[in-house]
Structure 1
């Protein structure tokens, strides 16, 4: 047990690499684009120095919470869907607030390692319209003028796209304009790909969406930014500073933690460290995230 705990502690301090699991005939893979370093007290404002002193396994050598940035590739019957599109080929450093440094750029190479080209992606389904999820849907391919994924359809929840004015007010008018010609809005419960259904879960944003993928008697819930770090599985009331409605998100997260503890249910946390796929397991201290890699 000691070696297993040590391995997990190491994984909580590094961003995820490519990881894949099978749900029957459907293969789902984390596609890395980059990583993010977050200031823990600013991100989870209900925490204290004492909390993080008790959980050093989540923090890197500079005291930042380590997260991953990328997307989820869903492959079935030769077809390919991408959920979220990373941050794109850039680095952003912010001197104050929850975000320390975020960088991207690796998604094309990660797709190639998985045997896919960008042209294989028939659609990109977004959990929400923050820049660390839009990435390559707005940024040009290396050496090109059009976005890397410009050939694909962009699937966005109807309430999220209806309030794109919120993005424009935040200075993201160019991103909205880049998305607009390719957008198809989707609704709660809609099947967008074999075995993949939309579930609209507002809170982090006004139209935040999760994607529930079923196959082989199991299901995977790609829950987007409803949870930023596995430490929130233990403490679902701790909302992120990025949440549009912290109370609404906390209520959803409590329900989500219960759901992820059900048999045959796997979660996917796009911003988790190197534990992006996992189950929720109850132990003596309450619910906890347990990585799943196969």
Structure 2
């Protein structure tokens, strides 16, 4: 469920330890992923909708509308129908979502957790249980930021939140895999159904170029070295199982498989 698809920041800023040629390296590994005008990395912002016979599960909810982001004009005060239109295109309304699974609590993953109604922030998905990593909620609560007040606290006050730990299972098919580093409680999502497995990365990776270079630090990682450890572990799991991999910020179609390649990994897109 795609909300935004456009240039974000320059690669040298996003990956500060990768060296001055990081842009050229990303373009080599992921062609056409840099904006030809600005040189910025094009990052999709999207969520994933999982439909089972019994539940509709949204994995992350993007930036949202009317949220406060004074330092980012592309995110600040948005008024856009693309995300909810994608939900409708899947045959669902906001009332049909049973769970909102938050891989972490950064602003571009939790924005549609709430919407503005009569001047108040209310849960967008009125019938859903929201699963949030406990460690991330504690961090965001301590910061008491606009993001917390607008996209997290209203859901807690509505009694729709379950604060979860790594390893939490949702039914028989979904397991939260600990991938801390980008945030303290960051989780990726393993889906097992019909003898097949898929992984949703969250922000354990931000570009498929990090398959070849898992050592690259990312600008917004809470603990960059822990993020590297988590990233390598997740890539090892993906390569060993041959499972489907979906990345929130991977170049579209954001879907592929990972294989081992020497001391690193190789990404293969699937159409």
Q: Please say whether Structure 1 and Structure 2 have the same fold, judged by a TM-score greater than 0.5.
A: yes
Residue in 1 that maps onto 2:3:
33
Counting only pairs closer than 5 Å after superposition, residues 1-294 of structure 1 correspond to structure 2 as: 31-36=1-6, 37-56=8-27, 57=31, 58-61=33-36, 62-89=38-65, 101-102=74-75, 105-140=81-116, 146-168=122-144, 172-181=148-157, 182-283=160-261, 286-293=264-271
Say if 2:141 and 2:148, in contact at 8 Å, map to a contact too: no
User: Tell me, which stretches of 5 or more residues in structure 2 are unaligned?
Assistant: none
Say if 2:114 and 2:155, in contact at 8 Å, map to a contact too: yes
Alignment length (residue pairs): 260
Per-residue displacement from partner, 1:202-228 (whole Å, max 9, x unpaired)? 211111111110012221111211101
Return the alpha-carbon distance in structure 1 between the equivalents of residues 175 and 262 of structure 2. Answer: 34
Shift of 1:248: 0.4
SS of 2:241's equivalent? coil
Shift of 1:233: 1.0
Per-residue displacement from partner, 1:248-287 (whole Å, max 9, x unpaired)? 0011111222221123412211111203121113458952
State the superposition RMSD in angstroms: 2.8
Shift of 1:196: 0.6
Return the alpha-carbon distance in structure 2 between the equivalents of residues 82 and 125 of structure 1. Answer: 6
Return the alpha-carbon distance in structure 1 between the equivalents of residues 147 and 88 of structure 2. Answer: 32
Say if 2:179 and 2:231, in contact at 8 Å, map to a contact too: no
Bigger CA drift: 158-167 or 229-238?
158-167
Return the alpha-carbon distance in structure 2 between the equivalents of residues 208 and 183 of structure 1. Answer: 17
SS of 2:21's equivalent? helix
Return the alpha-carbon distance in structure 2 between the equivalents of residues 184 and 261 of structure 1. Answer: 31
Per-residue displacement from partner, 1:47-91 (whole Å, max 9, x unpaired)? 233232344322112211111112111111152011111111359
Say if 1:230 and 1:272, in contact at 8 Å, map to a contact too: yes
Shift of 1:136: 0.9
Runs of 4+ in structure 1 over 6 Å off: 91-95, 141-145
TM-score of the two chains, using structure 2 as the length reference:
0.84
Say if 1:167 and 1:176, in contact at 8 Å, map to a contact too: no
SS of 1:163's equivalent? helix
Return the alpha-carbon distance in structure 2 between the equivalents of residues 86 and 150 of structure 1. Answer: 17
SS of 1:88's equivalent? coil
Instruction: Choose between structure 1 and 2 for higher RCO, CA contacts under 8 A separated by at least 6 residues.
Output: 1
User: Tell me, which stretches of 5 or more residues in structure 1 are unaligned?
Assistant: 1-30
Q: Per the alignment, do residues 198 and 50 of structure 1 end up closer, same or farther by CA in structure 2, a change over 3 Å counting?
A: closer
Q: Per the alignment, do residues 250 and 284 of structure 1 end up closer, same or farther by CA in structure 2, a change over 3 Å counting?
A: closer
Per-residue displacement from partner, 1:4-28 (whole Å, max 9, x unpaired)? xxxxxxxxxxxxxxxxxxxxxxxxx
TM-score of the two chains, using structure 1 as the length reference:
0.78
